[in-house]
Structure 1
Amino acid sequence: MTKINKISNKMELSPEQREVLFRVLKARFEKNMNRHKGLEWAEVRVKLEADTEKQWSLNEMEITGGEPDVVGQDTKTGEYIYYDCSAESPKGRRSVCYDREALESRKNHKPENNAIDMAADMGIELLTEEQYRELQKLGNFDMKTSSWVQTPDNIRKLGGAIFCDRRYGTIFVYHNGAESYYAARGFRGSLRV
Structure 2
Amino acid sequence: MPTTDTHTPSAPVTGRLVHHRAGTAPSTWAMGSLFEHLLHDEDSAGRLGVALVTQPPGVASPLHRHSRESEVFFVLSGTMTYRAGDDVLHLGEGDFVHLPQGMPHAFRVTGSEPVRFLGLAAPGRLFHLYEEVGVPAAERRPPGPDGPSAAEEVPRWNAVAGRYGLEVLGPPLPEDA
Same fold per superposition (TM over 0.5)? no
Name the structure, 1 or 2, with higher relative contact order (CA <8 Å, separation 6+): 2
Normalized per residue, the structure richer in helix is: 1
Q: If you compute each CA radius of gyration, which structure gives the higher value, 1 or 2?
A: 2
Normalized per residue, the structure richer in strand is: 2
Normalised to the residue count of structure 1, the TM-score between the two structures is 0.27
Normalised to the residue count of structure 2, the TM-score between the two structures is 0.29
